[in-house]
Structure 1
Amino acid sequence: MPIQIRHSVIHGFTKEAGEPVAHVDKKDRLLDNTLPSVFSLVQGMVTLLGKKESSQVWGRFGNNGREGPFPGRFAGYIDDVSSVEGFLALSHLAVDEISRTAEAQQASTGGHILCATYDDDAGNTRVIVAMIKQRSGLQLDDNLVPINIVEIDMSKLHQAAQIRVGEFRQTIELQAEQHDDEGEEQADVTYLSFVAKRADRGSSAYFINALGCEVGVSSTKATTRLYKAVDAFFRENEELNPYLRNAKDALSAFLRQEADAQRLVTMDALQDVMDRVVRPEHAHLVREMTQTLNGDRFKVPDGFLVSETVLRKHTKVVLEGARLTLKFDRGMLGTDRNAELFFDEDNRALTIQNLSNEMMGRLQQTLNDG
């Protein structure tokens, strides 16, 4: 099912590198979403988000008093996302703020700003603000209406922010319920993603600042998300399920290597590791795995430092005795009677709980075999 565009508009501003903004062109009429060229452009921008060349950096709006007017205006807009006036006012503010911050960035140049509110194929409402450079294959008429869209390629998407309206609304509700300074941290909210051409990321801070974005999550959250994502990815695919244990071991080894070297975990490096986990006949099943991990469901950041605390929790512990060898994730062990591995120190006992059906079957078969 394709996306459903509610509102869309293109504004623009003129600026040469090292020069001030010469002109801002703000439109007061929406684009006609029934035009194939308009739909093609918006759909093309949305489709590019999260692809290998434009992996997403997750975050939220800032709240440190330096985030500017956009987050507050956005909070007001979502009260009625069907409002044309509200959408146009928000888009005007976006181009004003982007052109203003671009002026302070000497290397920045002008371009066109696509703003759109749309529903994705699952019916979730989202807002995208994207900087587009006019190149061959993308033509705009005098009213900034796209014409002759043949295809969208990465050369046309330089910076973009996508805001998930439902998740943003839930965050506001959670904060209202919690009434404390730690509410946002507890909620682990990442309703906003930012993308940029990799070659441009060093110079695109002005775009982030213009929209009041605060990108990035803590290393603890990022590392935790990665473990959960890899587990789900392999567990939920019948053909990949047999590789789950090897995948988690390879992940821990990789994270230990990156942590010791004090390097950022990147999706490219992680993909190389996961490619080596499976046999050649299953290689196609993990070929674009990191795009899924970086996407809407798991929101694993494009680059982050490893959390030693989380890594230790998932590091294997090996217990060896004359008649017994146990190997398990450190996080399974606990002194709580509900722990998967309940350590009863007083009785010198270790109880294994919540055995899988496969383990139960193998134990029963072993007993039957005598």
Structure 2
Amino acid sequence: MDVKVNFAVVHELIKEQFKDIQASDIRKVVLNKDKPAVSKLIIGATSIYGKKNNATHYGIFAKKTASEFPIDFDAYSKIAISEKSFLEVTESAMAELHAAAKKTTASSGGYILFVDYENNQGRFLLIAMLKKRDGLRLNENLEPEELIELDLSSLYHAARINFNKYQEHGLADAEAKQELNYLSFLSQSAGRSAAGYFVTALGCAVGTASAAATKNLIIESVKFFRERPNLRDKRIQFKDEILRYLERQRDSGQSVKLSEVEAIARQFFPAELEGQADELAVEFTGHLNSEAVGVPVEFPISKVTLDKYTHVVYKADNWQLKFDRNSLGEGVDAEIRFIEQDRKLIINNLSESAIEVIRQAIADKRDAAEPE
């Protein structure tokens, strides 16, 4: 994916676990984005965001938050991009991170990378914490010596804001806002208070876009199977199992978890792909959790949306039919939909017996609806 970097900078939040926080090291100029090392750092951080072990929640800024960052970001999003305004918004974020980490004794600091960049999905502001790790290198005498390097294999904390969706959210009505998320954030250890200070400091909150998440999970997970020759034959059984899983979560009142969806998908990976299963699973969850698809790590299911995929509904003027899809035959890769404006029920790829069930039910309903 091509990335155009507008500005990038690294500040340091200086704090060791269970020790007093120190004054942050704030860089006063942006990084030279043309340097190979800087480019490698930015590409490394942006490319692993949303991948396995760096999967994201989707949301918005919290309505009630003590953080000043959402206000400062709003102002930043409405003005022309400049080095000065970019550094100012990063300093706002650092001030909030410092204040939040100071209150959490178990928290630790690190290098905070800020990148304002654009790709084919729009413009983003990425805020990511990087940690140091020990390494080795060979000197001019080909002797190993210790090296301290940045760990680009995993982001410890991170958040990313989509400028386009942020503006769209601001213009939307109250109902549309419910299905619009404009920021995402990592939550590797959502239950740990030590990890929570990062998203709290930035004012992040989990969104409520359950209808979009439910729909995209069903459509895109099946699409993933259909578009791969070695998985295509399993797509129908896989879809059936995903729908059963969603119904179980709905009936028990539990959230949908991307990790559990991945486990279901693995059951349908062919045996000959055993050596590639981990790589395929990473690709699968990465696709679902991507900015384009937007399925979060965990989300509440939309019962109304699920009902559209597990039932066939036909409406007439004074009556309606509702079928459980499984009653029409399991394992059928069918198209069943009602076109409201044309008053038509579209049915493709059903067995003849299933079609006869629908015909008879419609006839019975019509007869019952007619006046004597």
Identify the match of residue 289 of structure 2 among 289, 294, 311: 294
Residue-by-residue CA offset, 1:42-87 (whole Å, 9 max, x unaligned):
111112211211111111122x242632122222222345311110
SS at match of 1:129: strand
Verify the 8 A CA contact 2:158 2:185 in the aligned structure 1: yes
State the alpha-carbon separation in 2 of the partners of residues 297 and 123 from structure 1.
Answer: 7
> Residue 170 of structure 1 aligns with which residue?
168
Identify the match of residue 183 of structure 2 among 182, 186, 192: 192
RMSD of equivalent CA atoms: 3.4
Residue-by-residue CA offset, 1:230-277 (whole Å, 9 max, x unaligned):
243334456644433222101012223444555443222211211223
> Residue 266 of structure 1 aligns with which residue?
257
State the alpha-carbon separation in 1 of the partners of residues 168 and 302 from structure 2.
Answer: 27
- Structure 1 residue 192 displacement after superposition: 1.0
State the alpha-carbon separation in 1 of the partners of residues 188 and 303 from structure 2.
Answer: 30
Write the mapping of 1:22-61 to structure 2, written as runs, cut at 5 A.
22-61=22-61
Could you say if the C-alpha distance between residues 201 and 219 of structure 1 is closer, same or farther in structure 2, counting changes exceeding 3 Å?
farther
Write the mapping of 1:1-370 to structure 2, written as runs, cut at 5 A.
1-62=1-62, 64-66=63-65, 68-80=67-79, 82-120=81-119, 122=120, 124-136=122-134, 152-154=152-154, 157-172=155-170, 174-175=171-172, 178=173, 181-185=174-178, 188-198=179-189, 202-237=193-228, 240-260=231-251, 262-281=253-272, 286-287=280-281, 288-315=283-310, 317=324, 332=336, 336=340, 337-340=343-346, 343=362, 345-346=365-366
Verify the 8 A CA contact 1:158 1:200 in the aligned structure 2: no
Q: Aligned partner of 1:338: which letter?
A: K
> Residue 317 of structure 2 aligns with which residue?
none
State the alpha-carbon separation in 1 of the partners of residues 339 and 55 from structure 2.
Answer: 41
State the alpha-carbon separation in 2 of the partners of residues 326 and 161 from structure 1.
Answer: 44
Verify the 8 A CA contact 1:57 1:215 in the aligned structure 2: yes
> Residue 142 of structure 2 aligns with which residue?
none
Q: Aligned partner of 2:261: which letter?
A: L
State the alpha-carbon separation in 2 of the partners of residues 117 and 26 from structure 1.
Answer: 17
Q: Aligned partner of 2:168: which letter?
A: Q
Unaligned stretches of 5+ residues in structure 2? 137-146, 312-323, 348-357
State the alpha-carbon separation in 2 of the partners of residues 206 and 319 from structure 1.
Answer: 46
Verify the 8 A CA contact 2:28 2:87 in the aligned structure 1: yes
State the alpha-carbon separation in 2 of the partners of residues 347 and 80 from structure 1.
Answer: 65
Verify the 8 A CA contact 1:126 1:165 in the aligned structure 2: yes
Q: TM-score, normalised by structure 2?
A: 0.75
State the alpha-carbon separation in 1 of the partners of residues 200 and 190 from structure 2.
Answer: 19
Residue-by-residue CA offset, 1:297-327 (whole Å, 9 max, x unaligned):
211110234344444443362687xxxx656
Q: Aligned partner of 2:122: which letter?
A: N
State the alpha-carbon separation in 1 of the partners of residues 187 and 291 from structure 2.
Answer: 17
Identity %: 27
Unaligned stretches of 5+ residues in structure 1? 139-146, 350-370
Verify the 8 A CA contact 2:225 2:232 in the aligned structure 1: yes
SS at match of 1:52: coil
Residue-by-residue CA offset, 1:118-148 (whole Å, 9 max, x unaligned):
123x27321111122233259xxxxxxxx98
Q: TM-score, normalised by structure 1?
A: 0.76
Could you say if the C-alpha distance between residues 200 and 133 of structure 1 is closer, same or farther in structure 2, counting changes exceeding 3 Å?
farther
Q: Aligned partner of 1:243: which letter?
A: K
Aligned residues: 326
